[in-house]
Amino acid sequence: MAVTINTLREYKQKGEAFAVLTSYDATFAQIVSEAGVDVILIGDSLGMVLQGHDSTLPVTLEQMVYHTRCVAQGNRGALIMADMPFMSYGTVQQALDNAAQLMRAGAHMVKLEGTDWMKDTIRALSERGVPVCAHLGLTPQFVNKFGGYKVQGRDEKAAELMIEHACALEDAGADVILLECVPSPLAARITQAVQAPVIGIGAGADTDGQVLVVHDMLGLTTGRTPKFVKNFLAETGSVQEAIAAYVKAVRERTFPAEEHTFKA
Ligand code: KIV
Ligand code: NA
């Protein structure tokens, strides 16, 4: 049965963790969905892992549409989430026009990075039938404002602000929240504070779901490996088995372990 937003809500209600991975092409989409990954993310991380840029900023909507089409061809029942790239949702109208292109290409949900300024945008998308994932914490499109890729929400003031933003975006219509590189106690608080399923990366073991860039979990990281990454290919014999091991570890909550987690 195809995964829908209701499937993710049921997981949250039952306390069952679900697995998310990125894919950018049909082959990976098929392998990942057949391995039991519930959500496939066409991440704008493709700007780094496919295109070789040092940030996600150069990625265009046209490129996201192309990769979303490729993934939709290979997908076998996962929910397809597509990133809206940098400055493709600067205004509400832009967000509507550009989300429409991603939905037509096969996405079931779009993901936007930001804080409470996105309320009107999320409400407009949601009211018109576009489910939204709100990405908070380390939002890579803001790398130039952050001055680097840094863990977010480390002091109590920043933590409380992030909880407020998550709640405000849920109220505006966000169906899923994604937290990147936040201390695990904060991720746990946000997961409790919202009804929406929360997906984490570098956010500890207490979120409702986990996501990794597929290249990273296959040991294909070039440069420094982030703390939250685990190479699942190292302990298995094939890409298929590595992805199955990741799904199992997420469901059993053995991944992420302490060593993959920011405590404060
Ligand atoms: O672009 C991406 O792959 C992402 C995940 C790392 C959450 O946004
Ligand atoms: Na992204």
What is the 44 CA–ligand 1 centroid distance (Å)?
Answer: 6
Torsions phi, psi for 202 (to 5 deg): 65, 35
> What's at 98, amino acid-wise?
N
- Beta-ladder partners of 178: 135, 199
Ligand 1 atom at shortest distance from the alpha carbon of 111: 8
The one catalytic residue in 62, 180, 235, 241 is: 180
Number of domains in the chain: 1
Query: 113 labelled as ligand-binding?
Result: yes
So what's the pLDDT on residue 264? Answer: 82
Place of tokens 């999320």: 122
Residues of the chain with pLDDT below 70 are none
Query: 83 labelled as ligand-binding?
Result: yes
Residue 65 · residue 106 · CB < 8 Å: no
Which ligand sits closest to the CA of 49?
A: 1
pLDDT (tens digit per residue) in 102-133: 999 999 999 999 999 999 999 999 999 999 99
> Does residue 180 have an active-site annotation?
yes
So what's the pLDDT on residue 249? Answer: 98
Ligand 1 atom at shortest distance from the alpha carbon of 46: 1
CATH number at residue 40: 3.20.20.60
ipTM tops the 0.95 cut: yes
What is the 110 CA–ligand 2 centroid distance (Å)?
Answer: 11
Identify the residue whose C-alpha is closest to ligand 1 atom 3: 43
Give the structural domain span for 229.
5-260
So what's the pLDDT on residue 223? Answer: 87
Which ligand sits closest to the CA of 136?
A: 1
- What residues line ligand 1, using a CB cutoff of 6 Å? 22, 41, 43-45, 83, 178, 180, 201, 211, 213
Residue 263 · residue 228 · CB < 8 Å: no
